[in-house]
Structure 1
Amino acid sequence: MPDLGVPRPGVPRPGVPRPGGSEPQWAPAGGVRFAGGVPVALVAPGAGLASLPAAVGDLAALRHIDLDGNALTTLPGWIGSLERLRVLLLYGNRIAALPPGLGRLTSLEHLSAGRNALTAVPDALWRLSRLRSLNLAENEIADLPPGLGRLRELRMLDLGHNRLREVPAEIGDLPRLTDYLYLSDNGFTSVPASLGRLDRLGYLNLADNRLAALPETIGGMTGLHELRAHDNRLTTLPETIGRLTGLRELHLRNNRLAALPEAIGGLRALRHLDLRGNPLERLPDSVAGLTELTHLDLRATRLSTLPGGLAELPRLEKLDLRWIKFDEVPACVRPLRERGCVVLL
């Protein structure tokens, strides 16, 4: 299942000068880029390659390889001889294992191996201490070794759509993880308390798992601007969630929440709140403090009334109340509609 609402971040594709040398015969037309007559990039996405020509191993100056969307089933061990390589893009192939030689690519900054056939990650990967982005999504990975914590330069980590049984506590040892952390669609039942140490992370996706609770330490993730935890089994939210004062989007659709903590009113930057499909019986009065809120989705909840303070939310543009069996129309509906808010009943 794809992540909804937010596109997956692309890996930077650095520009390279026009060819100044002769292109190897094995290469797809225009696939080798040169600088000063020296091959520095192999760019051949979707070229139908079933294997990586051995001659690539002789191109010692290569800095960039893009083989997304080919038909590769293996990655040769000699890949480790390309010690200047900074970008390696292998998304959408059929690779079943990453070779130990990968650990010799000590200059590598971006590795994308999503949508392959990986079932495990070699320990050699944790030696890539300069990695800034790592995409292992859409594989069959069940376990991650604690070595993950050595990738201390990571800004973006995508582990979504795998079969992870648990999230290693060492994930909290990634101090530069700032952009994205995808853990969606795996199947784990908890996340470690160490997650709270990622105080610079902006986007966290925990959707489509089996989480019954979020850790109390989540309040330490003060850099979050978007949190997706929809389609889990959450029954409560920790009071510490109110410390996420920079949070702009909170997606909690299809959980088991019967109530929200009063601390929810502390999310003063919140713009989008999705509570659809929860057995909510009431909203705390503190939601009247969400003065930046523009969209509130309460569809298919068990609410019988709404706080009057909703009518005072100055930026609310859409309030979705469909599939709720109110005894009477909530008092806030009329004033909201009169000032232009779309209210769906």
Structure 2
Amino acid sequence: MRIDVVLPVSEMRALYELAKFVQAHAPAEQGEIAVTLLTDKRAVAHNGIGIYVEDDTALSLSMRYAGLRTLPDTLSEFANLRYLDVTGNHLHDLPDSLANLTRLEALYLDANQLAALPDWLSGLVNLHELHVDSNRLTTLPESISKLSKLRELHVMNNTLNMLPDSLWTMTALEVLYIGDNPLHVLPQRIGGLVNLTELYAHSNRLTLLPENIGKLAKLHTLDIGHNALTALPDSLGNLSALTYFLYISNNRLTSLPESLFENMPKLRYLNVTDNQLTTLPEAIGKLTSLEELRLYNNQLTALPDSLGALKNLNELHVMNNKLAALPMSLAASSSLTTLDLRNNALTELPASFVYLANLAYLDLRGNRFTEIPDILRLITSLKKLDLRWNKLRVLPSWIAEIEQRGCTVYRSTPESLS
């Protein structure tokens, strides 16, 4: 086996031993494993071993999906290692010798079979990122809080039903992934994560959120979808830094707090689909940076007039609700390109829709239209218009006109012709 790298003698010897170990444990169909010289310390090798070398020392090792059931003690010879990636193996535990890798900054253990994290892990005091998604963890050690430099913790898709109290004292944490676990509650102490910018707590069993979640003043991304929430705390409206997205989909909400959208002027994406909402707060119009709004699969009977204030809104999805009419003001959302109104109870569109100068996709399937609103002829930006599954009596002659200018029209045969 040829390895074209320059390393200290101890590391070169360890690399040869490591290559032999990986070869011995690799599936037979994998053939001879390769040692790949990585061009970046965060790069990965998809077969065999990847190594990143800088200043004649190994800074990164990648052994993803190598079929390993254990790791060799020779890894501890790479004393300057900053990144170690053993994602996608069959590891049930970690050797104590890894405790010697005290310069590690990022450790990737995703998609293994770890049931617990060793106590010695807390000695990796330079660790910035710990990735343990898709394992079999039932708990995290209290000693995890000793990782005082940890900025990212990924423990999604495990079987965690509670988190250690010490976790909420880790003030350096910026990114926390705890989704896809059977967590029933988040504690009030979550407010202590003062530097948190991203929180992913989706697909748990949460029935309520703590008031102190509103103290996460730097939070710009929040995913609490796919839980069992029946109400949201008023304090959620204090999260003025929310920017990238707010997911509240697939819960059991029948209403949203009036104060929820009072102080989120930077929010770009909002998803409250698959709840039981009947109304929306007027304050939704204060989300002046909103670009995409998803409201489908609720029980909405009307939309607030304030939607017209959303001048940056590009997409509005309101399928599978109970809308019988739309507000005239919606046409003031002049950036709207996609409007999905499938499966509601609409019989007409506001005349003001003619001012939707950027509307390209309009889906009116499954409503109660008996005739096609003439204003659609005047929306010259339309590229796709879906009229299927209505009760249309006749198709107007101008349908051919808008098709000629490049609009694809989907329609069922009118009742008068069927």
Displacement of 1:199 in angstroms is 1.2
The reply on whether 1:104 has 2:169 as its aligned counterpart is yes
The reply on whether 1:203 has 2:269 as its aligned counterpart is yes
SS at match of 1:310: helix
2:357 pairs with one of 269, 286, 291: 291
The CA deviation string for residues 189-213 of structure 1, in whole angstroms up to 9 with x for no partner, is: 1111222221110000000000000
1:141 pairs with one of 206, 228, 237: 206
Which residue of 1 is the match for residue 217 of structure 2?
152
Distance, in Å, in 2 between the alignment partners of 1:332 and 1:150 is 56
Displacement of 1:108 in angstroms is 0.3
The CA deviation string for residues 107-150 of structure 1, in whole angstroms up to 9 with x for no partner, is: 00000000011000022222001001000000000011110110
The CA deviation string for residues 138-197 of structure 1, in whole angstroms up to 9 with x for no partner, is: 000001111011001001000000000111111110111000000000011111122222
Which residue of 1 is the match for residue 339 of structure 2?
273
Equivalenced residue count is: 328
Distance, in Å, in 2 between the alignment partners of 1:75 and 1:107 is 18
SS at match of 1:84: coil
One-letter amino acid matched to 1:208: D
Distance, in Å, in 2 between the alignment partners of 1:244 and 1:156 is 20
Distance, in Å, in 2 between the alignment partners of 1:151 and 1:33 is 35
* Percent identity of equivalent pairs: 39
1:300 pairs with one of 366, 372, 375: 366
1:316 pairs with one of 369, 379, 382: 382
Distance, in Å, in 1 between the alignment partners of 2:42 and 2:190 is 26
Q: Normalising by the residue count of structure 1, what TM-score does the alignment of the two structures yield?
A: 0.91
Distance, in Å, in 1 between the alignment partners of 2:190 and 2:235 is 15
The reply on whether 1:217 has 2:269 as its aligned counterpart is no
- C-alpha RMSD of matched pairs (Å): 2.1
User: What is the correspondence of 1:15-30 to structure 2 with a 5 Å cutoff?
Assistant: 15=42, 17-18=59-60, 20-21=78-79, 27=94
Distance change in 2, residues 1:59/1:332 (3 Å): same
Distance change in 2, residues 1:33/1:344 (3 Å): farther
Distance, in Å, in 1 between the alignment partners of 2:271 and 2:397 is 35
The CA deviation string for residues 234-263 of structure 1, in whole angstroms up to 9 with x for no partner, is: 001111110001100000000000000101
1:171 pairs with one of 236, 242, 249: 236
User: What is the correspondence of 1:5-84 to structure 2 with a 5 Å cutoff?
Assistant: 15=42, 17-18=59-60, 20-21=78-79, 27=94, 38-84=103-149
Distance, in Å, in 2 between the alignment partners of 1:33 and 1:58 is 9
Distance, in Å, in 2 between the alignment partners of 1:85 and 1:153 is 17
The reply on whether 1:260 has 2:318 as its aligned counterpart is no
Distance, in Å, in 2 between the alignment partners of 1:287 and 1:333 is 17
One-letter amino acid matched to 2:409: V
SS at match of 1:106: coil
Alpha-carbon contact 2:343-2:365 (below 8 Å) kept: yes
Alpha-carbon contact 1:111-1:131 (below 8 Å) kept: yes
Unmatched 5+ residue regions in structure 1? Answer: 1-13
Alpha-carbon contact 1:181-1:204 (below 8 Å) kept: yes
Distance, in Å, in 2 between the alignment partners of 1:22 and 1:219 is 53
Alpha-carbon contact 1:293-1:315 (below 8 Å) kept: yes
Q: Normalising by the residue count of structure 2, what TM-score does the alignment of the two structures yield?
A: 0.75
Q: Which has the higher contact order (CA 8 A, sep 6+)?
A: 1
Distance change in 2, residues 1:331/1:285 (3 Å): farther
Alpha-carbon contact 1:83-1:104 (below 8 Å) kept: no
SS at match of 1:88: strand
One-letter amino acid matched to 1:188: L
Q: Which structure has the bigger radius of gyration?
A: 2
2:294 pairs with one of 218, 228, 232: 228
Displacement of 1:306 in angstroms is 3.0
Which residue of 2 is the match for residue 4 of structure 1?
none
